Each structure stands twice: as C-alpha cells, then as structure tokens.
Structure 1
Amino acid sequence: MFWRSKDILQFPEWALVRGLYKSMGYSDEDLSRPLVGIANSWNRVVPGHYNLNLVSDSVKQGILQAGGTPVEFGVIAACDGIAQGHEGMHYILPTRDLIANDIEMMIGAHRLDGVVLLASCDKIVPGMLMAAARMDIPAILVTGGPMEGGCEFDGRKADISALTEALGMLKTGRMTAEEYRHLEDCAGPGCGSCSFFGTANTMCCLSEALGLTLPGTATIPAIRADRQRAAQESGRQIMRMIKEGVTARRIINGKSIENTIRLNSAVGGSTNAILHLLAVAYEADVELNVDKFEELSRTTPLIAKIFPAA
C-alpha cells in the first residue's frame, strides 16, 4: 500500500514534520499509518451541521479501527435559510468554491492520504464533491442527515418552510399570533438539513448516486443512532479505498454523473443540482453541458413526488 504522507514522515530526514505532529500528541504509531483528513464543516450557525462533531467522532472510530490516523480540520459552512431575504444571500454561492479551494489547500499542503468530507447543506455538499474530484485522492462524503418533521400543520408534518406559508395565514387572519408562535417553536424539532426536498437533501441523495456516499445513508435522520453507525462504517470504508487505491475520479466519471442526473429527474430534485453537477463534472474532467440534463430527463420517469415538488 502506498500513501502520500509517508514521504514526509520518514525518520530522520523528516523529523521536523514528525516533531510538529508530536507537539499535538501524535505518537510514532500514529505516524506509521495513513493520515486521513476529516473535513468537518460543523458549526453552531447551520442546523444541518449542528451534529457533525458527533458524526466526526464516529468517523474517527472507524478510521482507527481500520488502521488509519484521523486528522481533522475545519471548513466553513453558511446557511441558505438564514441568509435569505437580505444581503447575506450574495455570499452563499461563492462559499461553494471557497470550500472546494479550502479543502484542496489542506489536502495538498499536508499530503493527506484520503479525506472524509462532512456536510449536509446546500452549497457545502457540492463544494466538497468538487474538492474530491479536483484532488483525485480516496474520498468519501458523510452527510449529517435530514431534520425530522415537526408539529402538525395544515394536515401534514411541518417543516421550516411552513413558517413562510403560515405567515400569509397569520396576516389574513386564518391563524392567531399564538398559533404562529407555536409553529415557530416546533416546525424544526431538532437539528438536520431542512426537512423538505430542497438543494440540501437533493445533493445528499445525489452524492449516493454519484458513488461518494455509502448506499442508503443520505436520508438517515440527523438524530438517529444509525447516522453514527453509518459514519463509523464510512471511516472503515475510506481505509479500504486507500489500501486499494480507489480515488475519487475512479468513482466520479461520465456514467456515474449520468446516473446522478437520472436520479434527480426521477425524484424531482432541486433544479440547483444542474448548477452543481456541472461544476463537479468540470473538476473531474468530465464533459457535461445542460443539454445532457434535458436529454436524460426526457427518458427518465418521475417515480416519486416529494415536498415541495409534490
């Protein structure tokens, strides 16, 4: 097994690098194993990323179990929902490319052998997929999971977008201020990516179709124990990929991107997926244009109607 970090961890020639790692508590044993980056976009601003520190802990367990050394670093994340309706929205799309650049720099500067990407929300997931395709090292994306539905609203479980809908009801006298306040308190009952099929949950599902997320894990709710087990298995899986030399571009290719486009059409995913998949394809050196989306959508049946497409 070849790994990139080994070249800069040889004793005694690279004692300076080893000494810097040892200043943080890493041992000789730690430095004898592949260094696996964990690009963690946790913060206390974005609901979909609020649980990523717990997810990261489980990823680390999996990496250690499989013979690697996890090295975690932070990545920015901004919330589309909180940024809406004011000048903050001008900052949101540029964060995608900033995230891709940030991860590239951390991987390149430290010669990391693989990377586990932790994200849930709109621009962060595609930014991380772009970084994986650009760097072409073993990479796996672990999502934080969707928020569960909230209290009952208009005959269904509420989600955060219900607050916008209900504002009209409040202003036309169909809802009292007290009822609206209650909805505000319970529309989002816990952390996770917003519980409707917007860009965040779309991109998490598409990362499965692309092949960079473990099958069946994108829709595990954020607060479920299965979310942690999936993260731990992802840690073990990245080590298998490193040992077998499976890099991102062996997964992200023309066929997997077509599969991803078909899934988006089949489930009525976000139209923002077009913007993001074009960027991911570019980073992977895969030729793709908007005509391909039109072509594939015309031969792909709609098999699921999910709010808000329903």
Structure 2
Amino acid sequence: MPDDHDRLVLDRPADAELAARLLAAGRPVAHGFANVYALTARGDAVQRLNVLKGRPCDQVGSLTAATGHVLDAFDLSRLPPGVPPSLVADVVEAFAAIGPFGFRGPAAARLPAGLTAWDGPTRTTQVIVPGDACPSQRFLAAATDAVGGGPLAITSANRSRHVTGDADAPAHWRADALRTELADVADAVVWLEHADEAAARARFPCHTPVSTSILALHRAERVRGRVHLVLERHGSLGADDVARVLASLGMRLTIGPRAAARLAPRSYADDPPSRLVGRPAAR
C-alpha cells in the first residue's frame, strides 16, 4: 500500500474534490464505497470501464449518485399503476439511511444508451448508492458538480469474471488486493481509498461486503391493497432485512428468480471468515 502521504483518502475533503476533478477530466476512480470498493467514471465512459475490467464492451453500466439525486435518474411518470412517486421516494430514503443499496426503475429520457436496458416494454436504469453514512457521498456530489450535473457510471471494483473464468467476481473490500488485481491498468485509475477499511465495514453492520441488493421499482405490483417490490439481486443487505424495511413502509417483498441465492463475499487467505461478513445470509 502507498504511504499515507502519497495516497488520496476518501475521508479527506480535499482528496475527494481532487478525485472528482480527475474523474471529470476522463479518469475512472477506484474508491471506497460503503463497505467495499467501486469504480466510478463519467456517464459517457461505460465502455472504458468495461475494457478496464475485461467485460464485453457493450455491457450496460449502472449509475451512482449522492442520495439527494437518486430520483433524477428515473422517469417517475412511468411507474406501474398504483405506485405513486412519493412511495418510491420513501423507499429510496429508507434504504439509503441504513447503508448501500440499489434500485432499478424506468429510465429518465436524458440518460445515454450505455446506462439503460430494456426489461420487456420498459427502458430501465439501475442506480447504486453507498448509504448516507458513507464519506463517498461527498466525492459523488463533487463529481456530479464537476461533470456539470451529468450521470456517473459505476461498477464493482474487480476484474470481470469474463477474464478470471470464475462463476462470479466478488467486489474487493481491500485496496491493496484491488491494486494487485488491476496492476496492469493501475496507472490509468485514480485511487481514493478508505481511511480505515475495518471502520468502513463496521459502519454498516447489517451489510455484508458484496455488491448491493437491488429492488426493481418498475416491477412493483399492488396486491390486496399493498405494493409488492421485487428483489432482483440478493447482495449486501439480506432479504429478511429488506422485507422488514418495506414492511415499515406498508409494503411487501417478492424474491425474484435471480435473487434466490445471496452473493458471497470475496475471501482473502490472511483474513478469518468472521471478518468478512456482517449478518449471515438469509436462509
């Protein structure tokens, strides 16, 4: 790991501002994101992120934003019948308050094709947030300002499974291991590290250090007077916890077919399993 004086640290406002300016100039940023690391770039740089990771060039990217700008990515007029925009706002606020999470819904018309995907008749986009308590909120807000209010593309910080040949490529939660995996492109990336990685994980005790769980807002259904949301990916926040948050809003959870199994954290040989996770995966 670089000397502390030579590295950019997420918790330092000046470092976050510098990383935001470098992002706006075209360089992707590997940065602390809740309890893991992520790669973020300008919204027009999805293909560059894909190449850096070894993904197919045309793979659709996700967006990220500071909490107050999440709804900007969605066309709330295209929500399913019986699902008011105010309810979606409540859902986003509730999950962002407790930690990292993801939402997929009808895409705003202004978004470029590389950040949208069709799900049946609905053009959708996916927004991943780090949680209100994460210091990356400052970096994301600064980056949004630096790019003139445009979207920010995000992906998990790792080498793609298309390169590794593994069934899955979990996100990294250690900067030194991520630097090693991306050594051949490390000079092209801006590194904005957690000041204390153990503290970053401890900040979100209900979340395991994997990619976020994702709710599909555009698949919401009203059944017997209650709105049901679909869990599309079972990631850092367990399904039981997701269901409890929705219940507090008068809603219910449906587990989608791709969310039947929960994502497993990346394991490092020199760390005991007890340090890898928050709560155990829901059974």
TM bucket normalised to smaller: under 0.3
For the pair shown, the structure with the greater C-alpha radius of gyration is 1
Larger strand fraction of residues:
2
TM-score by length of 2: 0.26
Larger helix fraction of residues:
1
